Amino acid sequence: MKSYIILVLAFVILLTQNSCFREEPNNKLSQESIWKNELLLDEYVLPWYRNMDNGFSTYVTTIMKGIGREYEPWYGDQITVSRSDWYSADYGDILKSNMEGITRRARTRWSTYYTQIQSINLLLENEKEIANGEHKTRVLGEAHFFRAYYYYMLLRNYGGPLLIKNTYDPLRDNKKFPRASYEETVNYIVSEARIAAGLLQPAENSDVGRANKGVALMLIAKTYFWASGSKFQNQTKEYLGFPDDRSDAMMTEAAKAYDELMKLNYGLVQINATTKDEIVSQYRNIFLTKNTTESIWEIQHSDDGNFDTGFGHKLDRDAAAPSFGGTYAAYVPTQNHVNEYRTITGKTITEAGTDYDPANPYENRDYRFYANILYDGCSFKSHTMDIHYTKVDGTEIPGEDLVKYGSSTTATFTKTGYYLGKFVRESQKIDNDEVYASSQNCIIWRYAEVLLDYAEIDFKQGRVGDAKEKLNQIRRRVHMPEYNTVTWDDIVNERRVELAFEKSTYWDFLRWGNAEEKMTGTTNPLKGIKIVKEEGKPTTYTETIVNGKNTKMRLFRAIQYFQPIPWDEIRYHGIEQNPDWKEM
C-alpha cells in the first residue's frame, strides 16, 4: 500500500534516469505521451487531490498565507484565534462579513474548482487513448469521482453552477452555459459519483489516500444529505434550491446511500480502556492515527512533516501554548463549545444539579472534553496547564500559559482560557525549525459522521429508536451513558461534540438555515473564561466575551448562504448573480 504522494517522488526519480521520457522536454510532454503512460497519468491526477482541500496546511488564512480552500471550522462558534493581526487579513475580512474579501475568496475558489473540472474533462475525452486494464479503470473512477466532488463543492458554495461536461476554451468557443438548477446539479453529482463507485475498489483494495468505492458512496450520501437542508426547500430561484419541499425525498436517498456504504469495511475505532486517562488517550489517538478503519476520506499529509518541499503542516506549532514555545495561539476553543460537553452522567450543565459543580466546572465531564480541550489544571506534555490568574495583594498575576512566549511583537496567548487538544500530538517537538513540522492527516469524512448523519435522518423521518441506537454506538465507544430516548437537542449536541472542529459543524449552520444567528456576535457572541485564584478564597470562573460582541467584529449576513459567482462569468454567460451581491 502506498499514498499518492509517493507517486510524485517516483515520477521525479524516473525523469532523472536515462529513459524514453528524455525524448521530450519535461514541461512540454504531449497529451498522447501522458495518456499512454501510467506514471504520467498518475502525475496528471495529482492536482485533483491537492486542490480538493488544504487539510491542516492552511487553517487560518492570512494575506501572507494566501486564500485557502476549506477551513470553515474557524468561522463557526466552537473555536477562534488569538492573533489580533489576523483580524486585519483575510480571516478577519470573512469573519466581519467584508464583501470585498468574500468576493475575492469566492472568485479564487470558483477558479480552482473549474480548473480541475477542465483537467478532468480533458482526460475523459481522451479515455480511448488510455490502455485498457486495472490502471485505466482506477484513473477513470478517480476522474468521475473528482468531477462529482468539485461540483459538490460548487453546489455548497454557490448553488446551481454551470454544468460544463466537456473541455471548453472561451477564447475559441463562444458557447454560453446557463446556470443549472439545484435538482440538475444534485442529479449530475450523484450520477458521476455512481459511475465512480462502479469503477473504484473498496478501501482495503485501494492505495492509501486514493479515492475508492466508499468515498464515492459517501459523496452520494453527503450530496443528498446537503440537499435535504431546510435552506434549500421552497426556493423561488431554481438554482438556489427546490421549488417545493424535497427534504424528505433527499433524506430517503441519502439513507439508501448510507445503507450501501455501511456494508463496506468501515466501523468505529473501539476504545477498550477502562480508566478515564486511558479512555481520553485512546480517543485522542483516533485523530493522530492515519487511515484507520473509521476513516473514509483523509487529506494525506507527508509522514516526515516537511512543510517546504512536502505536504506537512504546522498545526501543532500554531496551536501550542506559550509554555511549549508557542507564539500563535491560533486555534483556541471557546467557552460556547466547552459548555456543550455534558456531565459524565449525560446531563447538560444547566440540568445536571449535583452532577455539575460550578466551583469545579472541569470535573465529571464527557470524556471527549478531556481529549479535545486543554484547560486550566490539566496535564499535557508533562506540564500542568497554567491558564489562571493568581491574585496577590489585589494584583492579578497571569499564569505561565497567559504570558506570551519570546520577544516577537505578534506573539500571543489564548484569549478564551483554553488551548486545542484534539488533533495535536503530545510528543510533537515545538521549535524554531520552519521546515519540519507536523504530519497527522486531516480527516474529511469518518464513520462517526455517517452514524450522526443517519441519526438525524432517522429522527426527522420519525424513526426515533433507530436514531437513538446510532447515537448510542458513538456514546458506547467513549464509555458515556446511553440515551434512553433522544430529542433534537440531543442530536445536535452529539454531532457538535463528536465532530468538534471538523469540517462539518460550520456547514451544518448553513444547511439548517441558522447561520445568521449562530455566526453573528449580537446573537451568539464568542465567549471565554477568566479564572482567578486567591489564597483562602474560592476560585472564580467568569465568562467573558472574547470577540463578536458587536456586528463589526463578527457577522454573517443572509447574502452569504450563496457566495458570489465571479462577475466576468456573469457577464460572459449572461446568467443571474446570487441574490443581493453587487460588483466590487
Which residue's C-alpha cell is 487513448? 129
pLDDT value, residue 425: 96
User: Do the beta carbons of residue 475 and residue 494 sit within 8 Å?
Assistant: yes
Residue 167 CA: distances (Å) to CA of 121, 182, 249: 6, 22, 33
User: For residues 116 and 146, what is the distance between their CA atoms, to the nearest angstrom?
Assistant: 8
Which of 378, 401, 369 has the alpha carbon at shortest distance from 388? Answer: 401
Copy the grid coordinates of residue 267.
466501523
For residue 57, the model assigns a pLDDT of: 78
CA nearest neighbour of 282 among 192, 409, 370: 370
> What is the topology classification, in CATH, of domain 4-273+558-573?
1.25.40
Grid coordinates of 392: 496577590
Beta strands in 123-237 (DSSP E): none
User: What residues are paired with 545 via a beta bridge?
Assistant: 527
The H or E element containing residue 533 is strand 526-533
User: Nine-digit cell at 118?
Assistant: 477542465
Domain segments of the chain as ranges: 4-273+558-573
Distance CA 13, CA 11 (A): 5
pTM for this model (two decimals): 0.93
pLDDT of residue 335: 98
First to last CA, the chain: 49
3-state secondary structure of 205: helix
* pLDDT at res. 463: 98
Helices (H), 262-314: 276-286
pLDDT tens sequence across 109-160: 999 999 999 999 999 999 999 999 999 999 999 999 999 999 999 999 999 9
pLDDT of residue 69: 45
Which pLDDT belongs to residue 539?
98
- The predicted pLDDT at position 21 comes to 29
Please say whether the beta carbons of 522 and 240 come within 8 A. no
Query: Residues in the chain with pLDDT < 70?
Result: 1-28, 58-74, 548-552
Please report the pLDDT score of residue 89 as a whole number: 75
Q: What is the pLDDT of residue 169?
A: 87
Quote the pLDDT of residue 71: 53
> What pLDDT was estimated at residue 85?
80
